[in-house]
Structure 1
Amino acid sequence: MSLRKYTEEMKELIDRQHLRFLNTDGPVDKKSYEFFEEVKRETAPMFKLNNEWMEAAESFVKNRKANVHPNQVKSTHENMEMIILHSYYLDVHRKRFKELYQSSHYVLDMILSDIEKNEKSSQ
């Protein structure tokens, strides 16, 4: 899969998780084994996608002229992990969740912009 596709999928994923966070009534029972298993099952493909995105993004920013720094890729990867988890456990303030969400979108949009610039310059 291309970095563009990974990035677009991550944008959609964090949008869905943001809506989940906003529309789920808490608190959740953090000690529930059934809930833990449900979260583990549902989030496994999300974490896999996030890891695949990070690998592709790190390779892209290291090997091309990009406005995104490798540290931003790592931070965004971590932020998106937190978005995934907090959207289930609802254990963070709304303001903090929104900061994680907006920061992740900012970097994802910068990467998409860099991809487009590189595609245009290679034509």
Structure 2
Amino acid sequence: MDVMSLKADTNKLKRLIDERHQRFLNTEGPVDKKSYDFFNQVKKETDPMFRLTNEWVKEAEAFVKDRKTNVHPNQVKSTHENIEMIILHSYYLDVHRKRFKELYQSSHYVLDMVLDDLEQNEKSSL
């Protein structure tokens, strides 16, 4: 488990969900969910985002399993699912703002906890 990679990926996810949040707030909806072209555009654009989230969940699960952390493994799994929903909802705009904000804030909270735990582990290993 590469701690530096987890730290970098966690920071990338924080930026990613910030970008998705802005897209959600600034995009006029609704979209045509039956549009094949739109589906292909979303698939193409989201593929690297989903790869990042899948890589992060593996790294984060290994990190919380192997060390004393404040993050529970279920929080890692839930955050992974929440981030995937944030990505999709930022395109399809099919959720209320309040729910999107809850997903967004919850994800940031756990990502920040992971970063704090990484920092604590760095300090304790010096």
Same fold (TM over 0.5): yes
Instruction: Please name the residue that 1:44 is paired with.
Output: 47
Aligned to 2:31: 28
Which letter does structure 2 place at the counterpart of 1:63?
D
Select the residue among 72, 76, 80 that pairs with 2:79.
Answer: 76
Of 41, 54, 59, the residue aligned with 1:56 is: 59
Unaligned runs of 5+ in 2: none
Ranges of 4+ aligned residues in structure 1 off by more than 2 Å: none
**One of 86, 105, 109 as aligned partner of 1:106:** 109
- For the aligned residue pairs, the C-alpha RMSD in angstroms reads 0.6
Give 1:20 shift. 0.3
Q: 1:8 aligns with which of 11, 16, 40?
A: 11
Aligned residues: 123
TM value normalised by structure 1: 0.99
